[in-house]
Amino acid sequence: MTKVVVVASGKGGVGKTTTSAAIATGLALRGFKTAVIDFDVGLRNLDLIMGCERRVVYDIVNVINGDANLRQTLIKDKRTENLYILPASQTRDKDALTIEGVGKVIEELSEMGMEYIICDSPAGIEKGALTAAYFADEAIVVTNPEVSSVRDSDRILGILASKTRRAEEGQGELPARLLLSRYSAERVEKGEMLSVDDVVEILAIPLLGVIPESEAVLNASNAGTPVILDVDSDAGQAYLDATARFLGEDLPLRFVSVAKKGFLGRLFGG
Amino acid sequence: MSIFRYLLPKKKNTAGVAKERLQIIVAHERTLRGGPDYLPQLHQELLEVVRKYVNVDADAVNVQLDRNEGIDVLEMNITLGDEAVN
């Protein structure tokens, strides 16, 4: 049984690709055979975040057009067992990705025994994002604690609820969970940032995890290593937690409160 | 927590402002969600028609679709302010 998961946000730059790479790697680390698909045709980036950009030969549009088969195109991750990357096309126009074509690719991945297929959606609410979401069984909505990101997430939730195959076939709304990224507990405490409770209250969906604002994320993308593999970092641990919650484990939230300062720190600290 | 903070003018809690603004706009946008695709355009054109006769704000026209027991009700509210009537 294959589960298709779309990683969406509406707004760009909030961490969809970082999250897709991390969660896909996290699931593969847990032993699940996982494929991660980049749907951002024309603006491919998942390959860079996964560190396999030099190994891309064919892409998803080649597969859909029949220029290459899926086995030739899938990139097997070198670090993590069970993990496969399907890159987006860098050159072709966005209309090359059709619902029928993507449906065939997903079916074929399923026949190959993939247990999870993570769809890294492009930003926006246009065809690319709709195509990435269409076959999803569930969604991870990536949001930053910031007004435009929260509003766009609510917008994308409306679209996920009505424009997926699940909705069209009358199977009800797509289950969606929130991943709040770039979170700063310090700024929340100062009243400068929406808190996790605020965002959950506004979007009214269950919380999958909170990823703290972290230097580790840029370091990981510089190196082409999914941040979840940096197990000593706060963001890496937060993604490990999110993966565990995704699989149904009940873990307490971390990185959502400021470490208590000592007396002198309280006296002189900011 | 710092003792020095009490000496400085108090900063506004911007997160509270953000939450309030978001709750309002998200609630508004949800009323349009799930409705037919023509709803936003209907709203815009209604506003244009009303504005031919009276000067009203963009939020004076409210279009809402309610579904109740198999009956769809398209509800339109046009609020004319004091100025508009004069």
ipTM associated with this complex: 0.85
pLDDT at B32 over 80: no
DSSP for A31-92, written as a single string: T--EEEEE--TTS--HHHHHT-GGG--S-HHHHHHTSS-HHHHPEEPSSSTTEEEEPPPSSS
User: Mind telling me how many Å the CA of A30 is from chain B's nearest CA?
Assistant: 37
Contact A128, A40 (CB under 8 A): yes
CA distance A45 to A120: 10
Inter-chain contact A147–B30, Cβ cutoff 8 Å? no
pLDDT given for residue B5 in this prediction: 60
Nearest Cα residue to A62 out of A95, A36, A97, A38: A97
pLDDT given for residue A92 in this prediction: 65
Higher pLDDT, B6 or B13: B13
Q: Which residues of B touch A190 (CB under 8 A)?
A: 11
CA distances from A253 to A21, A180, A209, A242 (A): 21, 12, 7, 9
Average model confidence (pLDDT) across chain B:
79
The model's confidence at residue B11, banded by pLDDT at 50, 70 and 90, is low
Instruction: Report helix, strand or coil for A180.
Output: strand
Contact B63, B42 (CB under 8 A): yes
pTM: 0.85
pLDDT given for residue A207 in this prediction: 98
Judged by CB atoms within 8 Å, which residues 184-203 of A form the interface with B? 188, 190-195, 198, 202
pLDDT tens digits, B37-66: 787 788 889 889 988 998 888 878 888 777
The answer for residues whose C-beta is within 8 angstroms of residue B42's C-beta and 6 or more apart is: B63
Average pLDDT over residues B62-75: 77
pLDDT given for residue A78 in this prediction: 96
Inter-chain contact B29–A267, Cβ cutoff 8 Å? no
pLDDT given for residue A55 in this prediction: 96
- To test the contact with chain B by mutation, choose from A198, A201, A205, A261 the residue with the greatest count of B C-beta atoms within 10 A, namely A198
Angle (CA) A245-A233-A150 rounded to 5° is 55
pLDDT given for residue A162 in this prediction: 87
Q: Which of the 8 DSSP states describes residue A269?
A: -
SS3 per residue for A30-48? CCCCEEEEECCCCCCCHHH
DSSP for B14-28, written as a single string: HHHHHHHHHHHHHHH
pLDDT at B67 over 90: no
Q: What is the mean pLDDT of each run of 10 residues along chain A (270 residues)?
A: 96 96 98 97 94 95 94 97 95 81 97 98 92 96 97 95 90 93 96 97 97 97 97 97 97 90 62
Q: Which residues of B touch A266 (CB under 8 A)?
A: 1-2
CA distance A125 to B70: 29
Q: Which of the 8 DSSP states describes residue A112?
A: T
pLDDT given for residue B63 in this prediction: 80
Nearest to A154 among B2, B14, B29 (CB): B29
User: Mind telling me how many Å the CA of A13 is from chain B's nearest CA?
Assistant: 20
Side-chain half-sphere exposure of A264, counting CA atoms within 13 A: 0
